[in-house]
Structure 1
Amino acid sequence: MPSTTRRTRRSRTAMGAALAGVAVLGMFATAQAADAATASQRTAQAVHSTSVARAGSTPYVINHYGEENADRGRAERNPAHLVLSEFTSINAVDWKKWDAKRAVGTGEVTGSWCLETCMDKPLKATVTLSNPRTVDGRKVYTSFTLKLAGGAGTYDAEDLHGTRPLATS
């Protein structure tokens, strides 16, 4: 056999071996990518299941804020504006906590018990929603406590004393 033919045969063999190696590496990389994708999907499903379970156990608050919700209310979590009672609302709420037992936020309170005073200059306050119960198949907070930043002061309003009921429908 001439040396050119041997070189060609060796080249072809080497090329075939290289291509086979690339194919094996490609299959290995594809298998690893598939395993990674499956693991990623499992992780995403676990995170989704956990957040769904957490969301399912986290109560809503029935909010009557706005004309469209005045009569029936709307179940919400972390609302920026919340009607606490027929006398009191809290606006620009920054929720610090919202979990299965209670929600705590700070905001600006207005109410019929302070009329012009707090309409022009809302009062800073902390609201705590508590006592979650299942109502009509939905877990909702049923009570609130309101604490004005400077204390109740001269305001003699029921909503500023102790734990008060929240609307649940």
Structure 2
Amino acid sequence: MNRSTSLIRRHKTAIGAGLACVAALGTFATATGANAATAPAHTAHAHSAGAAQTDNTPYVMNHAGEENADKGKAERSPERLVLSEFTSVGDLNWKQWGAKKAVATGKVTGMWCGQACLDKPLKGTLTLSDPKTLNGKKVFSAFTLKLAGGSGAYDSEDLQGKHPLATS
């Protein structure tokens, strides 16, 4: 087996593992959503982003939920968002959704903090940035996540600084 075949095989394995994690997070989010009848409604804040949204306002490609795990869904001001194969945010309260960036506070969960995050999600501030036009649609292509009271460095996921965001 040559180096190229080995590299392709590793990439396919990583992508498969990432999609499995996204599906698991989507399943968790779907199960959490099923309990929404007993929880207070969180949809009113999803569109309180401050600035009026226009056709030029970017979307974010969201892979939350089993139905969006593979292809993603273009959304503005979503209530929950999959940031990577390891990290997801929910209960998003959008403070800003503009042409250059979007800012929200929410609850962070991830494979890197295991059951502790599922039981008690971490609070954080999410900033989406770097809009790009892809397939005729403007989408944010990067995110920054600042956790309240934490450094952001974990064994399996480094949340410090700017990270790429799925654009398809």
Q: Is the pair's TM-score, using the shorter chain for normalization, greater than 0.5?
A: yes
**TM-superposition CA deviations, 1:55-76 (whole Å, max 9, x none):** 1110000000001101000000
Would the alpha carbon gap of residues 155 and 67 (structure 1) be closer, same or farther in structure 2, given more than 3 Å must change? Answer: same
> Is the partner of 1:55 in helix, strand or coil?
coil
Residue pair 1:95, 1:104 contacting (<8 A) in 2 also: yes
Distance in 1, matches of 2:70 and 2:89, equals: 18
Distance in 2, matches of 1:159 and 1:145, equals: 11
User: 1:41 is matched with which residue?
Assistant: none
> Is the partner of 1:160 in helix, strand or coil?
coil
Residue pair 1:88, 1:159 contacting (<8 A) in 2 also: no
User: 1:105 is matched with which residue?
Assistant: 104
Would the alpha carbon gap of residues 158 and 57 (structure 1) be closer, same or farther in structure 2, given more than 3 Å must change? Answer: same
Gaps of 5+ in 2: 1-51
**TM-superposition CA deviations, 1:114-156 (whole Å, max 9, x none):** 0011111000000000000001110000000000011226634
Residue pair 1:61, 1:168 contacting (<8 A) in 2 also: yes
- Give the alignment's Cα RMSD to 1 decimal: 1.5
TM-score (norm 2): 0.66
Bigger relative contact order, structure 1 or 2 (CA pairs below 8 A, ≥6 apart):
2
Aligned residues: 117
User: 1:161 is matched with which residue?
Assistant: 160
Gaps of 5+ in 1: 1-50
**Larger helix share, 1 or 2:** 1
Detail structure 1 runs of 4+ shifted over 6 Å in the superposition. none
User: 1:82 is matched with which residue?
Assistant: 81
TM-score (norm 1): 0.66
Residue pair 1:143, 1:163 contacting (<8 A) in 2 also: yes
> Is the partner of 2:112 in helix, strand or coil?
coil
Larger radius of gyration: 1
User: 2:68 is matched with which residue?
Assistant: 69
User: 2:58 is matched with which residue?
Assistant: 59
Task: In structure 2, give the amino acid aligned to 1:138.
Answer: K
**TM-superposition CA deviations, 1:75-107 (whole Å, max 9, x none):** 000000000000000000000000000000000
The CA deviation at 1:159 is: 4.5
Task: In structure 1, give the amino acid aligned to 2:94.
Answer: W
